[in-house]
Structure 1
Amino acid sequence: VPLVVISATESVDVIQRAIHFGADGFIPKSASIDTMTDAMRKIMGGERWLPEHARRAMPPTLPDHSAMSERIASLTPQQFRVMGMLMEGMQNKVIAYELEVSEATIKAHMTAIFRKLGVRNRTQAVLALKDLAIEPQGMESS
């Protein structure tokens, strides 16, 4: 089944990431009905469709983040929450307080997160997620 992103965002970077992570097309909300219809026909016919400005700017290859994406998907919901708080710069004791668990539990989560992501420390973990432009649910900027 083709996957199409329809968005008010027309940033080339966002479009490139959507395509990189599996979208078959990216249609801006500002496109005319005729353009949207044409785009959907092409996508349903097996073609990739992007707005003209994104086609010109699309690099021949994008970095392969599939392995890291799979590792992130392996995090449990609680590990993902801990990782989100880590990305906000919170210390273990603050994370423990916020999640109403012991600091030892947070350290155990951190160890599991580092192992799953294939990193050795907090900085590498944060950089790996920032490289993917991941924003954990509830942490999006307003």
Structure 2
Amino acid sequence: MNASYTIIIADDHPLFRNALFQSVHMAISGANLLEADSLSALLTLLEKEPEPDLILLDLKMPGSNGMSGLIQLRADFPDLPIVVISASEEPAVVSQVKSHGAFGFIPKSSDMRALIAALNQVLSGDPYFPAALLNNPEACNELADKIAALTPQQYKVLGMLSDGLLNKQIAYELNVSEATIKAHMTAIFRKLGVTNRTQAVILLQQMSPEH
């Protein structure tokens, strides 16, 4: 793998940006990695580095909401290879990303192995779009059905979970015991088909492309 790649990671979440940084280093040793936490920071970077080999772009960060950042970059830099990395994994979003000229789409829920394989694929010149997301229009409906299966109280708990509240805080807010919240969590995970809090939050975010 060519060590002289220049790759820009554009994401406003420091923790995710750092995790992505580590993954890219594992995929491409010696790559020149640059970071941007907003669209304006990315555009400033591109003035200095007008021809990076790849931009890994989050759909939602300061200055960019939904597809607007991708559309602007595509208009200003038509030849730039842009791969969107997003928590919005519904087929409609992936299709939009593809139609607006992105070279690939990597779900934020991807594990390290999938992420590295996707990076290697796009740097080899082949677009990467997860077939399951692109070719499965029913996926969004399945997700909606899973969310609809939650009771109003479980949905409320999931929403608080998405806001970053701990079990203890949720119990306090809803005036119930922590054991009750843990029972809700178990039921929520079962109904959504997930195994941890992060996956549950990502599923909820997929219901709204603006995330």
Q: Distance in 2 between matches of 1:134 and 1:74?
A: 21
Q: Alpha-carbon deviation of 1:132?
A: 2.1
Structure 2 residue 191 is the aligned partner of structure 1 residue 120? no
Aligned positions of 1:17-96 closer than 5 A: 64-96=139-171
Q: Alpha-carbon deviation of 1:67?
A: 1.4
Which stretch of the first structure deviates more once superposed, 61-70 or 123-132? Answer: 61-70
Provide the TM-score with structure 2 as the length reference.
0.36
The one-letter amino acid of 1:68's match is: L
The one-letter amino acid of 2:193's match is: G
The 1:117–1:134 alpha-carbon spacing in structure 2 relative to 1, beyond 3 Å, is farther
Which structure dedicates a bigger proportion of its chain to strand? 2
Structure 2 residue 200 is the aligned partner of structure 1 residue 129? no
Paired residue for 1:111? 186
Q: Distance in 2 between matches of 1:102 and 1:127?
A: 26
Q: Distance in 2 between matches of 1:102 and 1:121?
A: 20
Report the identity percentage. Answer: 57
The one-letter amino acid of 2:179's match is: A
Pairs aligned (count): 91
Deviations 1:90-122 (A, max 9, x none): 000000000000000000000000000000000
Q: Distance in 2 between matches of 1:119 and 1:65?
A: 16
The one-letter amino acid of 1:80's match is: Y
Q: Distance in 2 between matches of 1:133 and 1:96?
A: 26
Which stretch of the first structure deviates more once superposed, 124-133 or 97-106? Answer: 124-133
> Helix, strand or coil for the counterpart of 1:65?
helix
Q: Distance in 2 between matches of 1:119 and 1:133?
A: 18
Q: Alpha-carbon deviation of 1:12?
A: 6.8
Deviations 1:51-79 (A, max 9, x none): xxxxx76xxx5752221211110000000
Provide the TM-score with structure 1 as the length reference.
0.51
